[in-house]
Chains A and B, each alone.
Chain A
Amino acid sequence: MATVPQAFIDRWRTGHHVGPAKPRLLVRVQPGMVDRHFAPITMLDGHHEFFGRVQGSKHQSAPWQGFWRSFGPWVDVPNVQEITVENDLSQQEGIGQATVHIENIIYRELMGTAGLYHGVARGYLAPWFGFAGLGRPGHDQPNEWLNVLNGGCRIKIWEGYGDDVLVPTFIGLIEDTDSTSSPDTITVTARSFGQMLTDQKCYGWNKAREIRSPIVFADRRRADNEQPKGVGAQATDYQRSHPPRNVTVKGASYWASLASTDPNTVKHIQVHIPAGHYETLYLFPRYPGMEAWVSIYARKRARGKPPLVNGVPVTDNAWVNIGAGNVPTEGQPFTNHWKSLTNKGITLELGCGITVGDNTIVRISFRKLHKAPELGTGYRAGASRLIVYRRVPKPEAKNNHWILVDDLGDVVKWALLWCGFKEWEVEPVGARIKDNKVFHQGDDLIEIVKWAKSQGAFVFYIDAPSDHPDSLGVPVFRRTRAVEQPQAGMLEVRDTDLITGLEPKFSKETLTFTNTSRGKTASRAQGGVTWGEDTTKRVQAVYFPPWSGAHRNIVSGQPENPDGVFQTNRIAGVWRAEVHDDPNLQDADDCMMANILIAIQQALAAFTAQLEMPGIPLPALDDQISVIDTGTGMNTRLWIQGFHRNLRQGETAEYKVTLNGSILDSPDLQQIQFDYFELVQTVLTGE
C-alpha cells in the first residue's frame, strides 16, 4: 500500500482532528478497461520479472498479460458525502470493496448579464441523465456524467487528515449504482481489481492466449528430460593413476590432483558439453570438506547465435559472468559457490540457466584440499564423477503448453499477470510443484491462488494502491504473520487512541482435544500405524493442544507441567478430535507440523477481538497491532483479519475504523508458537 506519511500518523495520534487536520476525502473516476496483449513483463517500478515460461510458446520474452487502458483522464467526483472501505481475509476472500455516497445535485457556475450565479441541476450526476431511448420523448440534455457512474470506470479513494496528507486507500471497478430521489443521492459500490480473479474463468483470453484449456502448471525440472553430458575432461593437473577422464566414465575410478603443501591451493577439473540448455550438474567429490566454484566458458550456438544466460544473450567464447564474483587465484568469474561439500554425489545448481553451443566448458574449481594418504603426502582435490544435465522438453509439455515454474508461489504471479497487475508482494513458497496441477475452463482464476494458499499457512488479499499513479492495488501472497514475532514498526494503540475498548471474545467451538494428521501409507518399520477403524498403516502424529489440559512436549512426547503458565484447560475434557488426512505428508514430522498449523488456525478462531478508533488506513490485513486497554485488562497483539473504515463529510463529519482479528498474546498461542519453533529446530538439526 501507499506510504502513510508520518504527518498523517501524528495528526491521528493527537485525537484533535480540527482545522487543517480535519478529516478529508477525495474520490476520482476514470473510464477504461482491462485489455490484454503480449508484452515483456515490466513491473511498475521498471524492473523485469521472470517466473517461468509457457513451454512451446513463441512469446517467452513477451507473455500474454492484462493491462489497464484508460479512455480519458481522472475526474474528481463532486458532492461525496461518505465513503466506506472494507476488507476481510475470510468473508471477502481478501478482495475488498468500497461504497461511495454522493449527493446528486450540482450547482453549475453560470454567467449572466448581472454576474456570476449558479444553476441548480438535480440528478446531474445520474448516469442515465439525459438519455432517451428510441421513441422516447426527450427530457434533459445529457452531460459529461452520462454512463460514468454505472460501470466501465475505475474509482479511486483518498483519505486523510487535511488536504495535504491524503493517502490513496482504495482502487477498484464500479459494481453497482443505486439512485434515490428526494433526497437526490447516488450510492456507488465498487470492488477492488481482485474481481479479475474471482469473476473470470481459466478460459480464452483470460489466461495466456496461446494455451488451450486446461491450464497445466508443472515443475520446470520435472517437465524436462535430463541427459547427462560431459566429455573431454581436463584438469589443472592429475595423479598419473587417476586421470581426469575418470569423471566422465561411469563406474571408473576417480580423478585426483597432484599433491600440494597448502590446502588452499586451487585446483580444477572441467568437462566439455554439447549444444543445449543446462541448469544443473552432478558432482561426486572424492574428499569431504572441499570448497568449490563452478564456472562456465560459453560458446556460441548454431548459426552464430550468441549463448544465452537466463534467456539473455551474452558474449560467446568468454566466461559467463553473472556478478557473483571471481574464483580465487584462477580469477575467472563463477556462477555458483559452495563453502563445503561432502564426499557424496549431489546434484548442484549451475547458478543460472545456460543455452550454449558445442564445446562449452563447465569447470569445477576446488580449494580446502584434503589429505589423500592412499596417494602419498600433501593435499589434493579429487572427484569421482562430473556430468552436466542437458534439459530437453518433454513432448507433452511442449504440445500442451505447460506453464513451467520453479516455485509453487509463481503460479500466483501468472494469475496476477493475466489480470493486469504490475506490482505485487508475492513471497516464494520455497517448494516445487510435486505433481502437475490442472485448472479447467470452469475454474475461476482465484482457484489458482486458493490452491497455492492451501499448500501452507498463506494469506492472500488485495492491499490498497501504492504511491505509483498506475497502481491497481497491490496483491499480497505470503506466509501469515499471525505466527511471527512482533513486527518492527508495529502500530501501538492505547486507551487514549481507542473509541471503544478492545472487545475480546472467546469461543471453544473450534478447539479440539487432539489434532491427528495421517500421511502417506507406510509399513510398521517405516512408522506406519493404523487408526481406529482405518486399518491402513500410515505415517501419523497426534498433537494435544495447550487448551486440552493434556499437552505433551513436541520432542519427548511426555506430558508437560500441567501448572505451567501456558498450559490451560479450556475444554474440560470434552474429547473433540480433529483428523486430517493428507497423503502428501511424508513422515511423522510432517504430520506434527500439520497438526500444529491446524492448532494455530483453531486458536486464531477461538480468541478474537474487535476495536474501534479514529480512522487511519493502518494496519493492513494480516498485520499485527499492539493494543493495551486498561478497561478490559488486555495487553496483546491483535492480528488483523478484517477492517471496516468509514469517512463522512459535511456538517456531521466522522472518520472511524473498526478492526477485527485474533488475539495473539494468549497463553495457548504462545505455547503453540514454542511447539512450532521447537519442531522446526528439531527437523533442521536432525535430532
Chain B
Amino acid sequence: MARVPNRFTNPANSDHYDWHVNHDAEDPSGKTRNISRTANTGGVGLVKQQSDDGPLIKHLSGTTPIRAQIQAFWQWYQLSRDQTIYFTDFDGQGYEVQITSFLPQKIRKEPSQRKDPSAPWHYWKWTMEMEIYRIISGDEAGVSP
C-alpha cells in the first residue's frame, strides 16, 4: 500500500506541502464540556452554569532526519500567524487549523543513520500543537470545534 503523507495546504493560493515524514504519535484530543458547580446556601443541590466547550486541539509528535521538513514546518508555523491553513492527515482527516506550537529538538545520531547529508550529526524530534477552527472532513464531521 502506497504511503500517504500528511499535507499542509494554504487555502489562499492552494500551495501545499506533503510531509517528508509523518508524525509518530498523537496525544488524546477531543472536546470538554465545561460546567461550573456552585453550592447554594441551602446545601441542597448545586447551581450549575455551562460555559462554552473547550477547544479541539491536536497534539502531534514525531521525528525526522530531514532538515527541509523542519524548515517547512517553520514556514507553515509563520504562515499560521496571520491565517488558518488546512491540515489533512494520512487517514484523510481534514481540518482548518492554526499551528499554535512547534517545538523541534535536535538529537545526536550515529553515522549509520545519516540520511540527510546536510544534517550529518543529528536528527530532530518535534512536537506540534494545532488548534482546530473547522472540521473539513473525517470522523469528527458535524462537531463544532
Which of B9, B42, B48, B84 makes the CB contact (< 8 A) with A107?
B84
Q: List 10 A-B contacts (CB under 8 A).
A: A15-B48, A112-B10, A113-B13, A116-B96, A117-B83, A117-B84, A118-B133, A119-B82, A119-B84, A654-B36
Interface flags for A22-59 (1: CB within 8 Å of B; 0: not) read 11000000000000000000000000000000000000
Query: In the complex, are the beta carbons of A653 and B50 less than 8 A apart?
Result: yes
Question: What string of 1s and 0s marks CB contacts (under 8 Å) between B69-94 and chain A?
Answer: 00000000000011111100000000
Interface core residue of A16, A18, A117, A494 (most chain B CB under 10 Å)? A117
Identify B43's interface contact among A22, A495, A614, CB under 8 A: A495
Interface residue ranges of A192-215 to B (CB < 8 Å): none
Measured CB to CB, the residues of A under 8 A from B are 15-19, 22-23, 107, 110, 112-120, 494-501, 614, 629-631, 649-655
Contact between A655 and B49, CB atoms less than 8 A apart: yes
With A114-B9, A120-B83 in contact, is A17–B48 under 8 Å at CB?
yes
Does the CB pair B10–A118 fall under 8 Å? no
- Check if A114 sits within 8 Å of B52, measured CB to CB: no
Contacts of B81 in A (CB 8 A): 120
B34 interface contact, C-beta 8 A: yes
| B1 interface residue (CB < 8 Å to A) | no
Q: A112-B10, A120-B81 are in contact. List 10 more A-B contacts (CB 8 A).
A: A17-B47, A17-B50, A18-B50, A112-B12, A114-B9, A115-B136, A496-B45, A497-B40, A499-B38, A501-B41
Task: Check B68 for interface membership: any CB of A closer than 8 A.
Answer: no
Q: Are B14 and A651 in contact (CB under 8 A)?
A: no
CA distance A504 to B78 in the complex (A): 58
With a CB–CB cut-off of 8 A, which chain B residues contact A629? 41
Can you name the residue of chain A whose Cβ is closest to the Cβ of B46?
A15
- In the complex formed, the residue of A with least CB distance to B44 is A496
Q: Are B52 and A120 in contact (CB under 8 A)?
A: no
- B43 adjacent to A120 (CB under 8 Å): no
Minimum C-beta distance from A389 to chain B (A): 64
A16 nearest in chain B by CB position:
B48
A625, B81: Cα distance in complex, Å:
52
Least CB distance, B15 to chain A, in whole angstroms: 9
Given contacts A495-B40, A495-B42, A652-B34, contact A22 B13 (CB under 8 A): no
Q: Shortest beta-carbon distance, A129 to chain B, in Å?
A: 15
What is the bound-complex CA distance between A117 and B134, given in angstroms?
9
Which residues of the other chain, B, contact A614 by a CB distance below 8 angstroms? 47, 49
In the bound assembly, the distance between CA atoms of A630 and B44 in angstroms comes to 12
* B50 and A499 contacting across the interface, CB-CB below 8 Å: no
- Chain B residue at minimal CB-CB distance from A494: B42
Asked if residues B83 and A118 are in contact (CB atoms below 8 Å), the reply is: yes
Q: Judging by beta carbons under 8 Å apart, are A630 and B50 in contact?
A: no
**Closest CB-CB distance, B92 to chain A, in whole Å?**
16
Nearest B residue to A495 via CB reads B42
Q: Is the CB of B52 within 8 A of A651?
A: yes
CB within 8 Å of A: which B52-76 residues = 52-54
B12 cross-chain contacts in A, Cβ below 8 A: 110, 112-114, 117
Please, which residue of chain B has its CB at the minimum distance from the CB of A614? B47
Shortest beta-carbon distance, B20 to chain A, in Å? 21
Q: Tell me whether B35 is interfacial, beta carbon within 8 Å.
A: yes
Residues of chain B with a CB closer than 8 A to A110's CB:
11-12, 83
- The yes or no answer to B51 lying at the interface (CB within 8 A) is yes
Chain B residues within an 8 Å CB radius of A652: 34, 36, 51
Tell whether, in the assembled complex, residue A120 and residue B98 are in contact, meaning their CB atoms are under 8 Å apart: yes
Query: Which 6 A-B residue pairings sit nearest by Cβ, starting from the closest?
Result: A495-B42, A653-B51, A117-B11, A22-B50, A112-B12, A18-B50
Residue picked from A116, A631, A650, A655, most chain B C-beta under 10 Å = A116
Asked whether B34 lies within 8 Å of A651 as measured between CB atoms, the reply is yes
B11 touches A115 (CB 8 A): yes
A681 CB to nearest chain B CB (Å) = 40
In angstroms, Cα B124 to Cα A424, docked, is 71
Given A110-B12, A112-B14: A495 and B84 interface contact (C-beta under 8 Å): no
Per the bound structure, the CA–CA distance linking A655 and B82 in Å amounts to 33
Are B49's CB and A114's CB within 8 A?
no
Partner of A18, one of B39, B49, B133, B134: B49
Within the complex, what minimum Cβ distance (angstroms) separates B53 from chain A? 8
Q: Considering the complex, which residues of chain B in the window 2-21 have a beta carbon less than 8 Å from any beta carbon of chain A?
A: 9-14
- With a cutoff of 8 Å between Cβ atoms, the chain A residues found around residue B54 in the complex are 651
Contact between A15 and B42, CB atoms less than 8 A apart? no
CB neighbours (8 Å) of B84 from chain A are: 107, 117-120
Q: How far is the CA of A118 from the CA of B11 in the complex (A)?
A: 9
Tell me, in angstroms, the Cα distance from A655 to B39 when the chains sit together. 14
> How many Å lie between the Cα of A271 and that of B18 in the bound state?
106
Across the interface, which residues of B come within 8 angstroms of A497, CB to CB? Answer: 40
B14 near A650 with CB under 8 A, answer no
Pick from B13, B43, B96: contact of A118, CB under 8 Å: B96
Instruction: Report the bound CA distance from A113 to B15 in whole Å.
Output: 9
A394 to chain B, nearest CB (A): 63
| Shortest CB distance B48–A (Å) | 5
Residues of B within 8 A of A654 (CB): 36, 49
Task: Give CA–CA (A610, B78) in the complex, Å.
Answer: 52
Query: Shortest Cβ distance from A423 into chain B, in angstroms?
Result: 33
Give the residue among B35, B51, B96, B133 with the most A Cβ atoms within 10 A.
B51
B6 to chain A, nearest CB (A): 16
> What distance in Å separates the Cβ of B110 from its nearest Cβ neighbour in chain A?
41
Cα of A17 to Cα of B51 in the assembled complex, Å: 9
B33 to chain A, nearest CB (A): 9
Within the complex, the shortest CB–CB distance from A169 to chain B, in Å, comes to 17
In the assembled complex, which residues on chain B have CB atoms less than 8 Å from the CB atom of A120? 81-84, 98
Residue of B34, B86, B98 near A114 (CB, 8 A) is B86
- Report the separation of the CA atoms of residues A107 and B44 in the bound assembly, to the nearest whole angstrom: 43
A498 to B47, CA, bound (A): 9
Nearest CB of chain A from residue B100's CB, rounded to whole Å: 11
Question: Which A-chain residue is minimally distant from B34 (CB atoms)?
Answer: A651
> A residues within 8 A CB of B9?
114
Smallest Cβ distance from B101 to chain A, in angstroms? 15
Distance, CA A119 to CA B46, complexed state (A)? 41
Checking B10, B44, B51, B53 against A495 with a beta-carbon cut-off of 8 angstroms, the contacting residue is: B44
Contact B49 A17 (CB under 8 A): yes
Q: With the chains together, A499 CA to B38 CA distance in Å? A: 7
